[in-house]
Structures are given as C-alpha cells and as structure tokens.
Amino acid sequence: MKNFPIPTKEQVSPANQAIFESLNGMVGFVPNLYAIFAHSENALGNYLALQNGKTSIRAKEREVINLVVSQVNNCSYCLSAHTQFAKMNGFTDEQILDIRRADVGFDAKLDALAKLVKATTENRGRVSSEVLENFYAAGYTEASLIDVTMVIGDKIISNYLHALTDIPVDWPLAPALN
C-alpha cells in the first residue's frame, strides 16, 4: 500500500491549522488520524463536530462503544488511542480487555451496552430482539439507542479511514487479545 501522506500544520488550510492548534493544546500533539482528515477542507471540522456533539452517552460508555467497534473492525489505531482514553476514564487494563471482548462482567449495564454494540457492528445494525431487550432492561432508552448508533457511526468512520490509509499508530500500542 502506498504511504498515505500525513500533512503538517503548514500544509493544511487556515481553518484546519486552527484545529491543529486546538488539538495540540488538548492532547499535546496532533494525532495522525486527525491530521489525515485535514486533507479535506471540511472533513476534520465535521468529524470533530460529530465526535463532540451533545449526547446522552457518558464518557465511560463512549469508550466502551469505541473499544468494541474498533475491536470488531480490527483497527489497531483506534484500539490504541481508545485504550489510553479508557484508562483516563478510570478503566483498568483488565477491564479494557474485557470490554474489547464485549464480556463486561464487572458492570451489567456496560455489558448490555457492549453486547449491543458488538452485535450492531458485526451485523450491520441487525441485532436479535434478546440483545435489544437486554439493552433496554439495563436502563437504556430509545434515545440511548439513537445516541449509541451515532457513536458507532463515528467510530466506523475513523476505523475505515485508518484501514484505507494505514497511517502509523502514534499512541502506545494496545495489547492483542488472547
């Protein structure tokens, strides 16, 4: 595969340069995956608007979704990045591996979420009534289902973009599942 170029701040539009500065301030660097969005005049801003939009999904739940979708899609970049974010949200290394397996024995509500996300991603939105009923029984609502689907879509975008570009992972590599 051809090396996909990762643009520098000087190579992107003024609007994307401002976003690079913001990312650098928040994360300490501009992650490669965000940088490649900046090849497009609008994609980086649009993607960040999607990621940062209002939602009923809590930060920990968002990381469960991100990790499960990235595991299903075998995205080493997103697994590595979201392993770090999951740790920042209080998950242990062992819990993160359990989440990636969609076997969250330490939290019944997050387990129902992980199982819904895995089934949704693997089956392109077609889940069994049992998985959906368990999701609702765990305390989620119809609004939650919509918001979860939005986060799944967000993560699929970045997983697919990494698969298409195969840019280097600039996060500590996530461990392989046994």
* Mean pLDDT of the region 64-72: 98
pLDDT of residue 178: 77
Where do we find the tokens 């819990």?
95
Whether the per-residue pLDDT at 20 is higher than 80: the answer is yes
Q: What's the chain's average pLDDT? A: 97
pLDDT score, position 5 = 96
Residues forming CATH 1.20.1290.10 domain(s) in the chain: 59-165
Q: How many CB atoms lie within 10 A of CB 2?
A: 6
* CATH superfamily membership of 59-165: AhpD-like (1.20.1290.10)
100, pLDDT greater than 70: yes
Instruction: Report how far apart, in Å, the C-alpha atoms of 46 and of each of 3, 27, 40, 41, 80 are.
Output: 25, 19, 10, 10, 23
Question: Residue 3: its pLDDT value, please?
Answer: 83
3-state secondary structure the chain: CCCCCCCCHHHCCHHHHHHHHHHHHHHCCCCHHHHHHCCCCCHHHHHHHHHCCCCCCCHHHHHHHHHHHHHHCCCHHHHHHHHHHHHHCCCCHHHHHHHHCCCCCCCHHHHHHHHHHHHHHHCCCCCCHHHHHHHHHCCCCHHHHHHHHHHHHHHHHHHHHHHHHCCCCCCCCCCCCC
Residue 1 has pLDDT above 60, yes or no: no
pLDDT tens-digit profile of 139-176?
A: 999 999 999 999 999 999 999 999 999 999 999 999 99
Q: What is the mean pLDDT of residues 76-82?
A: 98
Task: Calculate what percentage of the chain has a pLDDT beyond 90.
Answer: 97
At 139, which amino acid appears?
G
d(CA 134, CA 178): 27
pLDDT of residue 55: 97
Higher pLDDT, 2 or 168: 168
